[in-house]
Every structure is written in structure tokens, then in C-alpha cells.
Amino acid sequence: MTQPESPRKKRGIKVAVKRMEELRCCRGISQAELTHLAGLSKNTITNIIKTGFADATSIKRLAEALEVYEDFLTEQDQKPAVPVREVPVAKPRPDETGLHWIVDGIILQCAGELIFDSDATSTLRTKNRNTYIACFEDFLFTSIYSDSFGTTSALPNAGTDSPARLLTTQLSSLFKNHEQQIVKQITHEEILNHHVHRRNLQSDMMAMFDAYSLNKKIWHDWILREARLYLGTHKSVLQKTADFEKFVFAKTPEFFQDAQLTKAIHYKFVDSLLAPLVELYPKHHKKALQEFLLRTALSHIVVGWWYDLNSLSVPASIRMPYTVRSSIRLALAGRKSALSKQRFAKNFLVKNAFLELIEAYRCRDRSEVLDILLLMRDKKHFVNLRNRWNELELEMSLGNEKAIDTLIDDITRVATPTQQQPQPVIYEREAVQDQPGLCVKRALRDGTVHLTEHYAHALFLIFPELKEL
């Protein structure tokens, strides 16, 4: 027999529901935000609103979520309102040189390490293959389908090498570095301290679990790569000598810290990514690993917004964010959004360009990939697709869904090989598995075999270190 609710519990539910409705009406919190903050399902939140019934755990989580959100709003209310550079809704029309893409530095860094086979990161590339594959795909897409591209940050070294700078030097006809051209770059600290930017940061961090659910492999790869580079072995993070007052990690400059913002991260996201860290680093204290994860997540979001805001100073520009950051945008937009449709078209074009690259590669030296890409982008087929993609970007900025759907259909139609076009080379799986670095024995040109079945294996022909162990 069900036990009747106590008067105290009824009052607790009533107060929580009332406070929740006040916040939703007066302060802008959405049901989706409550769902993330409380770690409750949408059905549970809906039932609480409609019936006022919930178990003790749900009520506790809801109360804690409301307290976190209310503290956040109170903190922002105390800060003076100052002018802020908002991200514009519409992108500028292309100038005489077309649309200029602003890419994240990590895309150029990882692509450069792959193409020039950087000694300093050979082990890292093998262990974090998903990150490098995703970055190479983004670079391939950018180098073929952009009119020009650049970044707003300095490009780092990989050990004593400078693969990213070497890559951009060889693509000097397409690449521009805007770091020195921006009159007043917004700083990371300004993003962390301004109330409008903080709200944007919080929104992104609340969406991280949904983004993780879209592509778990890339997120696991992301945190393990960060740990291999920046976790370190300082005594403050180890099991026996942990210092809970001040963890010292190996990153210079240090990760950003803001406990108020990191509270917005869904607990399931933390649990999901903490597990592989604990498994890989048994000598490190679990609390140190959790703090590393939270600081890394915050820094990742802050840097993403830093790219977004500083790119506003570059005329006729659009953004090409790193795959992990773009998955957050996709999670916020939703599976049926125009952004999701655009992502589908992008993936289609990446595979299409990769087919052409593999056919032209023919076991040449991997450093010749850049020469092949430059020749590819001048072909009429890719020029045609590039013009259509520019149109799609402009329609995306205007939110014209009908035009977006039409252009995406048009792009996929044009990109699909026909009987009149030469069929792309698809390599035999067995040949690639047995000898991943050698030429292929046989190519199938009858159209019965598709790249999706052989994509990873074909990729190993150029970059054998990316072969899954």
C-alpha cells in the first residue's frame, strides 16, 4: 500500500514548484535548462509541474538545481551592464574574394602533424586517432570548399617542429593569420567576467552531455588527449600526496577555473568521462581527475567563444569550429534543425572529396597531400560545389529553411557520382588490412561498393598510424 505524503513533503514540493515557475516566468530559465541542472528527465520535470508529486531524491535535485541557478543570476545582477559585442544573426555578404573561414587552431595543428608525420606526436596520433581523423576531415573540407581560411590565434609547435605553420606556409595562397589584424581582441578573462558571455558559457556547458551523446568516441578521445598532454604527475594530483586545496596540472598557462560555471555541467557527463580517466591513471586521485575534467571542459568552452567573438572583426567570415565544439552547437540546435541538415551535407562532401584524394594519392609521399588538394580545389566539380556551399552559408545566416533544404538537396545531387562521371576508386578491404601502407591490389569501379564501408581502411593508406589497434 502506498504511504500518504507527509505535510512537510507536500509543502516542499509546493514551494519548489512555485519557485521553479517564478524563475521560469521572471528570469528566463527553460524546462530544458532545469532538466540539465537537476539531472532529471523531462517527464519527471513535467510531472512535478503538473501534479506536484516527486520522490525525495528528485525534490532534492530540483532544489539544488534551483539554488545553483538562482545564485548564478544573483551574481550576474550585481554586475554593471556594459556594451558587449554580440554575435550577429546574419553573416556579411561575401567580398570580392568570397567567404573567409575562421578555423580553430587545433584543426591546423593536428592536420599538420599528420601530413608532415611529426615525430613529437607519433604516439599521440596512434592513441588519439579519433581526434586526428576528425581534424583531418575538417581540414580537408576547409581546403577544398572554402574560398580562403585563417585563424585568430598563434599556431603552436609540436616539440621542436612547427607542422601547423609549415602547412599554412605551403597553402599561403589560401591562408591568412588575423591575430595581428584584430584591433582589440577580446580576452579570455573578459569572456569569463561579462554577464552576457557567462550566460552563453553556461548554456554551452549545460549542453555538453547532449553533445557527448551524439559522438561518445570523440569526447572520450578529447579528454584522454588533454590528459596525456596536460594532466601531469605533480604530487598534488597523486593518490598518496593529493592536495585538495590546490591541484597543480601540467598546463601552461593554467586552465580556467570557475566553480559557479562548472556546476552547470550535467553529472552524467562528468561520470561518463571520469571513468576512462580513472582507468588510465590509477595513481592519480579521483578528485584531482574530476577537477581536471571540469577545468578542461570550461577552458574548452571559453576558447571556443574566444574564437567566435574575435572572428567578428574579420570581414565576410564564417566559423569552422573544432569537432567537439561544433557538436555542442549541434546539440543546442537539435537533430531536426538546419544546422543538423548542414552537418549532413558537410559529411557528404567530406567523403566525396576524400574519394578524389585517395584516387589521386596512389601511394605517393604523404607530404604531397597538399599539392593534391590544391589541384582538386581548382577542378570545375569542386568549384561548383564551393559556390553552392557559399550560398548555403548565407541562407543559413538568414534562417531561410526552404532555401536551405533546396541547396542541401542540390549539393548532395551534384556531389553524387553519376555514370557519366569517372567512378571513384574503392580499395579492397583485405588488401588494406594486410598491408595498410602499400598500394591497393584492386579497385572496384562498378558502383556496388560504397566508401562508408571502407572509409577508415582507405584513410590508413595515407596515415597508417591511425589504424585502430
Determine, yes or no, domain membership for 85.
no
Residue ranges in 78-194 assigned as alpha helix (H): 105-115, 122-127, 129-145, 163-170, 188-193
Q: Given 309, 333, 357, which residue is the final one in a domain?
A: 333
Cell 553533445, residue located: 211
pLDDT band at 196 (very low <50, low <70, confident <90, very high): confident
Residue range 227-262, pLDDT digits in tens:
999 999 999 999 888 887 889 999 888 899 999 999
pLDDT band of 423, cuts 50, 70, 90: very low
Residues 190 and 272 in one domain: yes
pLDDT of residue 22: 54
- Average the pLDDT over each of 148-152, 391-395, 417-421 and give the range with the smallest value: 417-421
What's 424's DSSP letter? P
Give φ, ψ of 427 to 5 degrees. -85, 150
Q: Which residues pair with 33 in a beta bridge?
A: none
Rg of the chain over Cα atoms, rounded to whole angstroms, equals: 25
Residue 432 has pLDDT above 90, yes or no: no
Asked if residue 157 and residue 53 are part of one domain, the reply reads no
Q: Is the same domain home to 252 and 324? A: yes
pTM of the model: 0.74
pLDDT at 111: 93
What pLDDT score was predicted for residue 436?
34
The domain boundary, picked from 46, 77, 108, lies at 77
For residue 403, tell me if it sits in a domain: no
Total of domains in the chain: 2
Peptide bond connecting 253 to the previous residue in cis, omega within 30 degrees of 0 = yes
Domain end, chosen from 297, 313, 333, is at 333
Q: Say how far apart CA 398 and CA 95 lie, in whole Å.
A: 17
What are the tens digits of pLDDT across the range 281-339? 999 999 999 999 999 999 999 999 998 888 877 777 888 899 999 999 999 888 788 88
Same domain? For 263 and 300 the reply is: yes
Say what the pLDDT of residue 114 is. 93
**Structural domain range at position 313:** 99-333
**Is residue 410 within 8 Å of 422, Cβ to Cβ?**
no
In a shared domain, residues 124 and 214 = yes
Mean confidence (pLDDT) of the chain: 77
Q: Tens digits of per-residue pLDDT, 47-103? A: 665 555 556 666 666 666 666 655 655 554 554 443 333 443 335 566 666 788 989
Q: What is the DSSP letter of 337?
A: S
- Provide, rounded to the nearest whole percent, the portion of the chain with pLDDT above 90: 36
461 within 8 A of 436, measured Cβ to Cβ: yes
Write down the pLDDT at residue 84.
Answer: 39
Largest CA distance in the chain: 78
Do the beta carbons of residue 146 and residue 174 sit within 8 Å? yes
CATH code, domain with 42: 1.10.260
User: What are the helix (H) ranges across 85-162?
Assistant: 105-115, 122-127, 129-145
